[in-house]
Amino acid sequence: MKTAAKKIYIAFIILFLYAPIGTLMVLSFNASKTRAKWGGFTLKWYIDLFHNEEILRALLNTLLIAFFSALAATIIGTIASVAMNGMKRRTKSIMMGITNIPMLNAEIVTGISLMLLYISFGMKFGIGTILLSHITFNIPYVILSVMPRMKQFNPSTYEAALDLGASHTTAFFKIVLPDLFPGILSGFLMAFTMSLDDFIITHFTKGVGVDTLSTKIYTEVKKGIKPEMYALSTLIFVTVLILLILVNRSPDKKKS
């Protein structure tokens, strides 16, 4: 009885979180253009999607920004984690405090503060400014994923490699990096996801005529969202879901 109640509760929360996603998926097959009515099943929006250059360009921008900002944040964040681990307690806690700022600060404040920065430097708003902003808010996710791994890391293995004649660089790439890898990977994926889903900071740091999916959707809200958008987000979601299932399955296969 008690376990049944627990299962119902988990199911209720998951239903709550996934109900809008299900709704969007259903809407992507809706022949009627308005959200309010079901006009029969169609695949029209999926076909139209591939002819809609604006949406495809926004998608490309979104993916490029997500990939490169996550990559840059992963490199900077990983190096920072390695460096911070060897620091004195005081310096380290100051650095961690600063790292926490973009995570704890309001996105709107981060967005406008960066906007003011770019304006005062006379920078041209566009992909570049979005990228810099995304790297900034992505670094903390990488550091928070890598730091726990770094704490567990046994420095003796690194020293042993040095004693056995490895250079600092070789020892780092052969010993430290493989040990940190799970943390680095989850940091990268987290950063990629956060960048992909960001609207507020992009809204303040993008230039005129440059759109990511988020900002494109925001401008469409008033005119009415194009159903192609539902089709695209369904495709993205299903792709990620399938990838995750495949990734999670592969270790089992190795075991058997």
Partner 1 sequence: MTSKNKWLSAPYALWSIVFIIIPLGMILYYGLTDKNGAFTLENIIAITTAGHAKALRLSLLLSFVSTLICFLLAYPLAMILANTKVNTHQFIILIFILPMWMNFLLRTLAWQTLLEKNGVINSVLTFLNLPNLKIINTPAAIVLGMVYNFLPFMILPLYNALAKIDKNVIDAAHDLGAGSIYTFIHIILPLSVPGIISGITMVFVPALTTFVISALLGGSKLLLIGDVIEQEFTRTSNWHLGSGLSIVLMIFIIINMIASAIFDKDGEGSML
Residues 59-78 that bind partner 1 (CB under 8 A): 76-77
What number of residues does the chain have? 256
Q: Which stretch binds partner 1 (CB under 8 A): 15-23, 39-47, 48-56?
A: 15-23
Name the residue nearer to partner 1 (CB basis): 168 or 174: 168
Token pair 């005119």 is found at 223
Is 194 a binding residue for partner 1 by CB under 8 A? The answer is yes
Asked whether position 196 contacts partner 1 by CB under 8 A, the answer is: yes
Candidate residues 144, 150, 175, 184; the one interacting with partner 1 per rule CB under 8 A? 144
Is there binding between residue 82 and partner 1 (CB under 8 A)? yes
Q: Does 35 bind partner 1 (CB under 8 A)?
A: yes
Tell the smallest beta-carbon distance from residue 166 to partner 1 (Å): 13
Q: Does 84 bind partner 1 (CB under 8 A)?
A: yes
- Looking up tokens 């075991």 gives 255
Sequence-distant (≥ 6) Cβ neighbours of residue 80 within 8 angstroms: 95, 99, 139, 143
Residue 217 engages partner 1 in binding (rule: CB under 8 A): yes
Number of residues that bind partner 1 (CB under 8 A): 86
Select from 63, 71, 123, 132 the one that contacts partner 1 (CB under 8 A): 132
Asked if residues 102 and 114 have their Cβ atoms less than 8 Å apart, the reply is no
Tokens standing for residue 165 = 């004649």
CB of 68 to partner 1, least distance (A): 15
* Residue 99 in the binding site for partner 1 (CB under 8 A): yes
Q: Which of 190, 201, 210, 231 binds partner 1 (CB under 8 A)?
A: 190
Three state DSSP letters for 208-219: CCCCCHHHHHHH
Residues 6+ apart with CB under 8 A from 33: 39, 224, 227
Amino acid present at 225: I
Per rule CB under 8 A, is residue 54 in the interface with partner 1?
Answer: no
- Is residue 179 close enough to count as binding partner 1 by CB under 8 A? no
One-letter amino acid for residue 40 of the chain: G
CB 106, min distance to partner 1, A: 4
Q: Does 231 bind partner 1 (CB under 8 A)?
A: no
Look at the alpha carbons of 40, 41, 44, 50 in this order and tell me if their dihedral is positive or negative: positive
Rule CB under 8 A: which of 145-174 touch partner 1? 145, 147-148, 155, 158, 168
Q: Which two tokens stand for residue 230?
A: 């539902």
Number of Cβ within 10 Å of residue 122's Cβ equals 6
